[in-house]
Amino acid sequence: MKLVLSLLVLAVSLSMAGVTADVEGTSGTNWVPSDAETILWEQPQTGGAQGSQYFTDMYPDYDAGVADDFMFPTSTDCNRIKWWGGYWNSAEPFPIVAPVEIYLYLDDGTGGSPTLPQHSSAIQSWMIAVGEYDEVADLDNFLCTYDFPSVVTFDPNVTYWVEVRKAYAFDPYGQYGFVVADPGFLAPCVQGFDGLGVDWWTPQTAGAAFVLIYDDAALEASTWGDIKTIF
């Protein structure tokens, strides 16, 4: 009975919070790209966060994710991703230090949604441990940076979707979301939220805030590390 009551209390809290943080957010960023960073795709933050989280204490009854699409006209190499995330409904100070999950999908053929089922149909995924990505406060939200273990090559004229979410318990840490970017450049971002009646993948009204980068310095550091390992 105690477990059932706890889940009911958490469900009420989630429904009250909704699927998007009840904050306006701030447009822009304090981040300035380095000389070594080539911006491949950029959708800066313009608003609040949209629930995108693996609830370790309530899965599978509650599960949430937000994904947004991108495309390149030519074959494109990428070795870094940045994204903006936001927190709310928490009893703990921000940011919440927790693992991150990134999923890469193909389009489902409609031009407006990734493939289903969520997560298991991803063509690539990265389960990122604490300490393997950077997170800094950026205006009202938080900017995260992750260097892919190896270069990711995107084929030309192919629509890809990227989903980013954090993995931690709702109680006591609250909720995490992929921040809004308005406008997005292709289709609106999409969301799924089990337990709150949001089917995977339901179109939203704007995009999600992320940047895809090729960083020459990151490649040089990786290559030098390989050389040192050889010798």
Tokens found for residue 159: 């629509």
Closest CA relative to residue 215, chosen from 75, 37, 5, 32: 37
Q: How far is CA 22 from CA 67, 68, 88, 89, 158, in A?
A: 20, 21, 8, 9, 34
Q: Give the model's pLDDT for residue 184.
A: 85
The residue with tokens 């149909």 is 121
Q: How far is CA 62 from CA 35, 57, 105, 142, in A?
A: 42, 9, 21, 24
3-state secondary structure of 15: helix
Q: Which domain holds residue 116?
A: 2-230
Per DSSP (E only), the strands in the chain are 37-43, 49-51, 53-54, 63-70, 76-88, 100-106, 124-128, 134-138, 141-154, 160-167, 175-181, 190-194, 198-203, 207-208, 210-215
The residue with tokens 């993948």 is 201
Contact 59, 194 (CB under 8 A): no
Q: Structurally, how many domains does the chain consist of?
A: 1
**What span, in angstroms and rounded, lies between the C-alpha atoms of 40 and 46?**
19
The residue with tokens 């969301």 is 191
What residues in the chain have per-residue pLDDT under 50? 1-13, 15-18, 22-25, 222-231
